[in-house]
Chains A and B, each alone.
Chain A
Amino acid sequence: MVNLTLKFAACLRAIDMKVSTAEVLDCVNHLKLIDVIDEDLFKTVLKTNFAKSRRDHRTFDHAYDLFFHQMNSNIRLEDIKANENLVAANEIDILQKECVDQLAANLEMDQINQALINFLSGEPLTYMKMLRELQTKIEVARVINSNLGQLTERLQIMLKINAIRNLIPQFSGGNFDMPGSNKQKRLNQRLEERLDNAYQLLVKEPVPENESLNVVTRNQKRSQKLGDIPFANLSQTQIEEMRETIRQLVRKLNDIVTLRFASRNKGILDIKKTLRKSAKYHGLPLELKFRNKPLRKGKIVALCDVSSSVWSAARFMLNMLYSLQDCFSKVKSYIFVAQVADVTDFFDRYDTNDAVEKILNEADIEYNVLTDYGATLLDFKTNYMNVLDKKTTLIIIGDGRSNYLNPREHILQDMREKVRRIIWLTPEPEKFWRTGDSQIMTYKTYCHELRVCRNLNQLNEFIEELVI
C-alpha cells in the first residue's frame, strides 16, 4: 500500500500537483483506518489528502483514472489490501512484458521512446514528467512570437507514438507463434488503448476547475447620462464630460471610505493620548483614545492592453484607480502590446489626466507589433514578478485577443500563486469570448474574477466593490 501510494503521489507531482511527504504519510495512515475494498472510500481518502482545493479536483480525477484504471487495469483493491505484490502475474502480463521488451530492443532508445515504453508497461511517470518539461522548457527557450517550437516537439512525440503503434502487431504474438489468437488480440487492444491515452495526454491537458470564478457580465442599471455609452464610442467632448463625472464619483467614494474609516476602524488603545486627556479629570482616564488603524486595502498592480479598443476603457480605470490612490497601500501600473512597460512613474510625475495622455505617446514600448498576450506574460514574469505579493490584487485589463499566438496561460497560474487575487476586465461582451483569436476562455481558468467593463456604469460598480 505504501509503495502504491508513493507511486501515485509521484504521478501527481509530475503533473504539477503539490503533494508533500507529510501528506503521503497521512494518507497511508488513513488507508489503514478504512476498508480499501470499497473504491468510493479508497478514492475519497486519496482525494482528501492529495487534492487540497476544488481547483485541483479535475486534475486529480484525471490522474486517478489514468493510474488506477487505465494503467493498472489489473490492480484489484483486494490485492492492495492483501500485499504489496499487486500485479498477479497472469499470461497476458507475461506476454505484455515480452512484447514491450522486444519493442524496446527494436527502437532507438531516445528520451521519448524510453518514456513511451515505460508508459506501455504501466509506468506513466517518465512520460508525464516529459510532457511537463516540454511546457516549461519552451517557455524558457523564448521562441519569439510563436509556439512553433512547442508544436514541433509535440509532433515528434506524435510520430513516435504512431511508429510504436505500427510495430505492436509484429511483437504481440510472442513466442506463441499464434498471430490472431485471442490473447494476442487482447494484448493488442490493451497496448493500443495505452497509446491512445498517451496521445490524449499529449494533446489535451486537464484544465483546473474554476467554479468559484466570479463572472460579472451584467450590472444594475443606474441612471447616468454617460453610464451606458461604450467607452470606445465617446466623442472628445464626452471624454471631457466623463472626466468630470468620474471626479464626482471618486469624491463620493472617498467620502464613503473616510466615513467607514472613522466609525468602524477603532484600533487599539492609545495610552499616551488617553493619559494626556486624563489630566482634565484629575488623572482619571475617563476618555479613552484609540489609535486609528490605517485602512488595509492592499496593493494594486494594473496591467493594461493599450490597443485602442481596450485603452479607451483602461484609461478611465487608471484614472479612477489613481484618484483613489489613498485607499490602497500602493498602485503600480504597466502597459503592454507584446512587451511590458512600467508606467507608474508617469502617475507620480504628472496629474492623472495628463499622465494618461502622455503614456500613449511616451512609454518605452514598441507599438507597431501584433498584440501578444503570451509574450507579455513572459516579459512580465521575467522582469516584474517581484512586484507581486500576497497583498496584491492584480487587475488585467484586455480583450485577450492575441493573434493566435501561444497564450502561455501557465504563467498566469504562476502569477496567481503569488498574488491575493487576479481580476480580469474585458471590454468585450460575453458573446464574443469564444470568437476568433480571443483567449478569454483560456485565461479565465486562472482568474478569481472576470468582468465586462465597457462603460461607466460597469466601471463604477467594479471600482466600488474594489475599494469598499
Chain B
Amino acid sequence: MYFKDIDDVEKRLESANYISSKEIAIIVFLATATEKPILIEGPAGVGKTELAKAIAASLNHELIRLQCYEGLDEAKALYEWEYAKQLLYTQMVKEKVQDVIKGAKTLSEAVEKIADQEDAFFTDRFILPRPLLQAISSKNPVVLLIDEVDKSDPEFEAFLLELLSDFQVTIPEIGTRKAETIPLVFLTSNNYRDMSDALKRRCLHLYIDYPERDAEMRIVRLKIPGIDETLLRRLIDTINNIRKLDLKKKPCISETLDWAKSLIALQAKDLTRDVVLNTLNVILKYRTDVDLAISNIDKVIAS
C-alpha cells in the first residue's frame, strides 16, 4: 500500500515540494494501487521528471533513472559484461589454467576442460548492472523513471514492453531474474514520435499541461519563499501572456523560477517595461523568440 487515498497523494507530494493537480493525484493513486506504469506526456519543463522524483522522495524509495536516446540498447539499459575485468582475471589466473588442463591427453580434451570452467567468468561478479537490472534486482522497492522514452528506438520499446509485463529478465549465461519487488514505473514522453499501442495498453496515461495560474503561484512561493505577492502575480500573468505568443520554445516552470530569482537578484520591485526588456533572455532561449516578445511588449506585460 503506497498511498491511503487521493488526498494523501496530494499532501505527501506537497511535503516533497511538488504541487500536484487533482488529476495528477488521482492517476498516481490508481497507478500505485494497481501497480501499473504511468506514461506521462506534456510540453517540456512542466514537471514530468520532477513528479517521479517527488514520488520517490515522498515514499522514501530510491529513484533509478534511465535516460533514453536514439541508439540506446540493452547493453546500456540492462547490463553489460565487464570485458576488461574478465580479461584481467584471465591473465591473473593464467597459472591455474595449467592445473585445469593437467592430465588432458589431446588438445580437444584440454579445450573441454577449459570449457567446463567457463562459467566462472560469467557470474554476477562480472556483470555491470545498468538501470533496468538495478531496478529489478533491488531488494527494496524503487521508483523507476524511464525518461524521454519517445527518443528510443522501436526495438528498445519492444524490449521494454516485455520487461513491463513480466518484470523479469533473462541473462543467457546466468538465468532468469525476477523482480523482488515490482518497481513503480514512470515513463515520460515529449511526443517526438508516437508510442506503440502495446506499450500504451500497459500504462495509465497522464497529461501534464502548463500549470493553472494558482498552481504556478504556489510552486513559486514554495521554491522562493517570501516573494512579494504583487510582483508574483504580475510575473505569472506576464509569463502566461508570453506563452500565448507563437514561440519556438515556450517558457516553462523552471524559466518562471529563474525569472523570479533574477528579478529578486536585481532587486526589481515591480515588473516595469524596462525590467522586462532587460530580462527577457532569462525566459526565452531563442533570438527569434526574444524579438517576437519585444515587438509585442505592451501586450504581454500584465497590469
Contacts and interface: CB of A to CB of B under 8 A. Distances in A.
B39 interface: yes
B95 interface: no
B190 interface: yes
A20 B27 contact: no
Contacts of A416: 194
B200 A218 contact: no
Nearest to A416: B194
Interface of A: 18, 20, 22-23, 26, 29-30, 33-34, 40-41, 44-45, 47-49, 51-55, 57, 211-212, 216, 218-220, 265, 268-269, 271, 274, 283-285, 288, 293, 296-297, 390-391, 416-417, 420-421, 448
A245 B154 CA distance: 36
A211 B250 CA distance: 12
Contact of B71 (A18, A44, A48, A296): A296
29 contacts: A20-B201, A23-B201, A26-B34, A30-B30, A33-B29, A44-B23, A45-B30, A48-B27, A48-B30, A52-B39, A53-B195, A53-B200, A54-B191, A212-B190, A218-B248, A219-B288, A265-B71, A268-B80, A269-B83, A271-B83, A283-B91, A285-B84, A285-B87, A288-B84, A293-B71, A297-B70, A391-B153, A391-B154, A448-B192
Contact of B205 (A30, A52, A220, A293): A52
A242 to B, nearest CB: 25
B104 interface: no
A390 B154 contact: yes
A57 to B, nearest CB: 7
B215 interface: no
Given A41-B26, A53-B194, A54-B207, A284 B91 contact: yes
Contacts of B288: 218-220
B118 interface: no
B30 A33 contact: yes
Nearest to B42: A54
B166 interface: no
Contacts of B190: 212
B43 interface: yes
Given A420-B154, A448-B192, A45 B71 contact: no
B41 interface: yes
Given A211-B43, A296-B153, 15 more contacts: A20-B201, A33-B29, A48-B26, A48-B27, A54-B191, A212-B190, A218-B248, A218-B288, A265-B71, A268-B80, A271-B83, A285-B84, A417-B194, A420-B154, A448-B193
Contacts of A45: 26, 30
B161 interface: no
A26 B36 contact: yes
9 closest A-B pairs by beta carbon, nearest first, are A212-B191, A52-B200, A390-B154, A269-B83, A52-B205, A285-B87, A296-B71, A48-B204, A44-B26
Contacts of B6: 34, 41
A40 B25 CA distance: 12
A229 B53 CA distance: 49
Contacts of B194: 53, 55, 416-417
B197 A18 contact: yes
Given A44-B23, A220-B287, A268-B75, A53 B192 contact: no
Interface in B197-239: 197, 200-201, 203-207
Nearest to A44: B26
Nearest to A210: B191
Nearest to B286: A220
Nearest to B39: A52
A120 to B, nearest CB: 33
A57 B207 contact: yes
Contacts of A297: 70
B3 to A, nearest CB: 11
B192 A421 contact: yes
Interface string B179-198: 00000000000111111010
A51 B207 CA distance: 10
B22 A53 contact: no
Contacts of B275: none
Contact of A296 (B34, B70, B191, B287): B70
Contacts of A29: 34
